[in-house]
Amino acid sequence: MPTSSEPLQSVLHPAGADAEIIGQFAWVLFGAGLLIFLAVMALLGLSLRRHAAPLRPGLWIAGGGIALPVLLLTGLLGWSTWRSAQLVPQGSAQLAGNAPAISVTARMWWWEVRYHDPASGREIVTANEIRIPVGRTVYLGLNAADVIHSLWVPALAGKRDMIPGRVTGLTLRADKPGVYRGQCAEYCGTQHAHMALHVVALAPAEFEAWLQNQAQPARTPEAALPLRGRDVFFEQRCQNCHTIRGVVASNSLGPDLTHVGSRLQIGAGLLRTHSGTLAGWIADPQALKPGVFMPAASGIDGESLRALAAYLEHLQ
């Protein structure tokens, strides 16, 4: 799985069928716009050079003002309507076939991701990361918990607004394995800019293994440091907002931490996950993401902070 460098977030590097079409729109409209610009500049140059000669204004207006725009714009409209019809029909849950149902809830300023597999009864809750099997069309049910957000993973699909009290949907398909960065595309408050997510497309067998691991409750640590960290978790009252399946159930004010150590990033695309960044985040989340609803750890000493970070990193 390529995690070494920050993945591209670009319409111009499509990796799925819909994104391919949207990428073509970008190029064709840019190309047509460029041609029009060059033609206008050429005519401007011509008119400045030949100001003495009669210009036959009637012909110029009919040709340049009516015929050319009508032909060009009708051509572009026809082409884009034809191409749009080839986009995957959105909001059709049945396209997902037997893939697990995935629902994404946008919150200020992170993403809760739930997998429900009716066959096995597995229910998985994770955050800021959507793992999908490569080459399969996956349907995401979208909702928002507080204000309007918008899900956009430019390399895979178009945007879809996420509206409190209403379920919308988006189909995703990645044609090659990889990590695709996405971003909230609707201004939703001070940390809108730090509301990113990653779509990780895995080979089907790898995806199934990941699902199975995520469905397990949290592993009990064996080493002394993370074991101590689990006690610190309760001393700091982290359980008031965070669930760790098999350890403590809570509301979903904060992300489910059952397998937090296995996620690429923390803070919704803010920092790569490891014990160092976890410790920094716990010690002072306001310094890293001002306005975030997570309070800083209170009166925690260095040893306890290290232990708590080691425990969370151990939750793979």
Binding residues for ligand CUA, rule: CB under 6 A, are 106, 109, 149, 184, 186-188, 192, 195
Strand order in the sheet with 101-107: 122-127, 110-117, 101-107, 138-144, 168-172
Provide the token pair at 262: 């296995």
Taking the C-alpha atoms of residue 187 and residue 110, their distance in angstroms, rounded to an integer, is: 13
Please say which residue, 116 or 192, places its beta carbon nearer to ligand CUA.
192
Q: How far is the CB of 240 from ligand CUA (least distance, A)?
A: 23
Residue type at position 188 = C
Minimum CB distance to ligand CUA, residue 109 (Å): 6
152 or 210: whose CB is closer to ligand CUA?
Answer: 152
Q: Which is nearer to ligand CUA, 187 or 234 (CB)?
A: 187
Task: Report the largest interatomic distance among the alpha carbons of the chain, rounded to a whole angstrom.
Answer: 92
What's the closest the beta carbon of residue 313 comes to ligand CUA, in angstroms? 27
CB of 114 to ligand CUA, least distance (A): 18
Q: Least distance (Å) from ligand CUA to the CB of residue 111?
A: 9
Question: How far is residue 40's CA from residue 294's CA, in Å, rounded to a whole number?
Answer: 55
- State how far Cα 42 lies from the chain centre: 43
Q: Evaluate whether 248 touches 258 at the Cβ level (below 8 Å).
A: no
Q: Which is nearer to ligand CUA, 109 or 139 (CB)?
A: 109
Q: Which is nearer to ligand CUA, 192 or 228 (CB)?
A: 192
Cis check: omega of the bond before 109, within 30 degrees of 0 = yes
CB nearer to ligand CUA: give 22 or 188: 188
Least distance from ligand CUA to the Cβ atom of residue 158, Å: 16
Q: Coil, helix or strand for 17?
A: helix
- Asked if 130 and 181 touch (Cβ cutoff 8 Å), the reply is no
In the bound complex, what is the minimum distance in angstroms from residue 46's beta carbon to ligand CUA? Answer: 48
Q: Which residue has the tokens 């990113």?
A: 196
Write down the residue that tokens 């691991």 correspond to: 213
Contact 7, 179 (CB under 8 A): yes
Return the number of the residue (95 or 288) whose C-beta is nearest ligand CUA: 288
The tokens for 128 are: 């800021």
* Residue number with CB closer to ligand CUA (190 or 220): 190
Q: How far is the CB of 32 from ligand CUA (least distance, A)?
A: 31
The Cα 148–Cα 168 span in angstroms is 12
Instruction: Tell me which H or E stretch contains 129.
Output: strand 129-133
